[in-house]
Structure 1
């Protein structure tokens, strides 16, 4: 079983021909809203991948809160771990250009009220060998409490170190499974932008020191990972992306669900990479997450 402890947002998405430079205003071509938040995205992805999923976090007692939970509820994600907060539901303000690239500003809202007690209560209901998925859009104290509780209980912790920060670097080192994109991993290592060879060498060195499973997504170049002293690679699909928002969350959800279902690590990586590619073919974070049938058809 998978429990996701993390953020729940509504995404406010504007598209334009190109992204504005600092201080510049550009005209947009469309606007839409979609349920999002890295935690909720990963929960929905894991559920669409076939896992039994529980979501834990907080939303505001407002219209956006019910909208943010709608797709999770429709997918039969267990929402008993989601509580109502006095703060407004979190929002993500997303700009997307014609090439599918994006910039995002996240306003935490209710996500900022998630506490250490929430974390401990969430993990207390889990069983040894379950997967706990974490991201960094809720307070760091709560994430640390979740990691410590998971280690004590034998729960497998799966940390996606996004958005990246110094605390994400510190706490990510405590997780059993670490997932980052190439930029985040290079920041995690603290050596500036790395070549492919240097990145692999850094992954090997970190794995030898920590024993962590380390996974680095590479966009169009797929994914590279190290687990139990073995290096793995997996390719996604060759696509023309429409919107890359949520692709990383889709990858994470599918990977955790595949591991939870007993897939071999190599097959789980490939399944997750394909799912992440498919998520780039539709706009929005949660609406773009593919169902398992679509993923299996491409493998």
Structure 2
């Protein structure tokens, strides 16, 4: 069975709800506290819930954060490719969420930022596999070097790349080398502008996620808009991850790109109606959601329009 091989990083998110950010040197009492698996976990969970066979090819630590990550991956049925890294624990991201919903982050990198080339070389991809790459990997020296050595030797496996919000921080040569291996680029509108999608779309498939409007698909010399699903959003955190994970699962199932993108749009819409980062639906929940939205919108969901 073909698999999604995720080469990114799973971290632990410490999410604190605060009335406002503290002043420099100050303090503030949090209104809520949550400790959750984050980072690449959200993509993998979305794909696994959509029925994909998922392998986590990244590294993870030996402490309590690593234990939390491994337990969460196991609960989703995700295979872990490596033993825990003995050099330390998994990293943590502290997220302060203020009363307006704005998020402020501080990241402490751990074992997930130390994926060596010899470790990744032991992950044997098959021609039918889909390999997921995140731009965050380019910001960790060992992960970046391992990926850039491994990706050119894949046996025909497709590569799905999500650059992420730090796209302007990448070394141009590293990005160019990575892009030479990419088959499908999935990004949001701001990232698309930074990457000059019009140029990239001449050589590969590009999906530009556009929130409630759905996404724009550049493929085979054509550009089309795949419409979104009308919902009332309560938390948009993780919607892009859900979109990528479900897109990957649908492609592994053999769906064509427009249909896979339609389903990914639906999954992302479902996810924003729930609070939390890993709110992707199961296949059953997604099928029910699409029927309900279809019934309420006169069959208008998921239209494909030439742009």
TM-score interval (norm. to shorter): 0.7 to 0.9
Q: TM-score with structure 2 length normalisation? A: 0.81
Q: In structure 2, what is the equivalent of residue 73 of structure 1?
A: 74
The alpha-carbon distance between structure 1 residues 295 and 25, as it changes in their structure 2 partners (threshold 3 A), is farther
Secondary structure class of the residue paired with 2:58: strand
Q: In structure 2, what is the equivalent of residue 129 of structure 1?
A: 128
Residue pairs, 1:205-216, within 5 angstroms = 205-208=199-202, 211-216=203-208
**Residue 283 (structure 2) pairs with residue 292 (structure 1):** yes
The alpha-carbon distance between structure 1 residues 295 and 129, as it changes in their structure 2 partners (threshold 3 A), is same
In structure 1, C-alpha distance between the alignment counterparts of 2:247 and 2:23, rounded to whole Å:
35
Query: Match for 2:187 among 180, 183, 188?
Result: 180
Query: Match for 2:13 among 11, 26, 30?
Result: 11
Q: In structure 1, what is the equivalent of residue 300 of structure 2?
A: none
Q: In structure 1, what is the equivalent of residue 36 of structure 2?
A: 34
Residue pairs, 1:55-66, within 5 angstroms = 55-66=56-67
CA deviations on 1:60-102 (whole Å, 9 max, x unpaired) are 1001111112222012111134542412212122233455443
Max radius of gyration: which structure?
2
CA deviations on 1:115-167 (whole Å, 9 max, x unpaired) are 22223222xx21112100111333321232232222xx111111111242323
Residue pairs, 1:163-178, within 5 angstroms = 163-164=166-167, 165-167=169-171, 169-174=175-180, 175-178=182-185
Q: Which runs of 5+ in 1 are unaligned?
A: 190-201
Secondary structure class of the residue paired with 1:232: strand
Whether the 8 Å CA contact 1:108–1:137 is kept in 2: the answer is no
Whether the 8 Å CA contact 2:46–2:246 is kept in 1: the answer is yes
Q: Which runs of 5+ in 2 are unaligned?
A: 138-142, 291-307
Secondary structure class of the residue paired with 1:32: strand
In structure 2, C-alpha distance between the alignment counterparts of 1:239 and 1:102, rounded to whole Å:
22
The alpha-carbon distance between structure 1 residues 220 and 172, as it changes in their structure 2 partners (threshold 3 A), is farther
TM superposition shift of 1:53: 1.1
Q: In structure 2, what is the equivalent of residue 198 of structure 1?
A: none
Q: TM-score with structure 1 length normalisation? A: 0.83
CA deviations on 1:195-247 (whole Å, 9 max, x unpaired) are xxxxxxx43x4322xx2111111123221121111223223333333332221
Secondary structure class of the residue paired with 1:187: helix
**Residue 112 (structure 2) pairs with residue 102 (structure 1):** no
Secondary structure class of the residue paired with 2:281: coil
CA deviations on 1:27-69 (whole Å, 9 max, x unpaired) are 642111111122x221111111111111111111001111112
Residue pairs, 1:155-234, within 5 angstroms = 155-162=157-164, 163-164=166-167, 165-167=169-171, 169-174=175-180, 175-189=182-196, 202-203=197-198, 205-208=199-202, 211-234=203-226
Q: In structure 2, what is the equivalent of residue 266 of structure 1?
A: 258
Please give the root-mean-square deviation of Cα atoms over the aligned residues, in Å. Answer: 2.4
In structure 2, C-alpha distance between the alignment counterparts of 1:26 and 1:142, rounded to whole Å:
41
In structure 2, C-alpha distance between the alignment counterparts of 1:275 and 1:237, rounded to whole Å:
9
Whether the 8 Å CA contact 1:35–1:285 is kept in 2: the answer is no
**Matched residue pairs, number?**
278
Query: Match for 1:236 among 221, 224, 228?
Result: 228
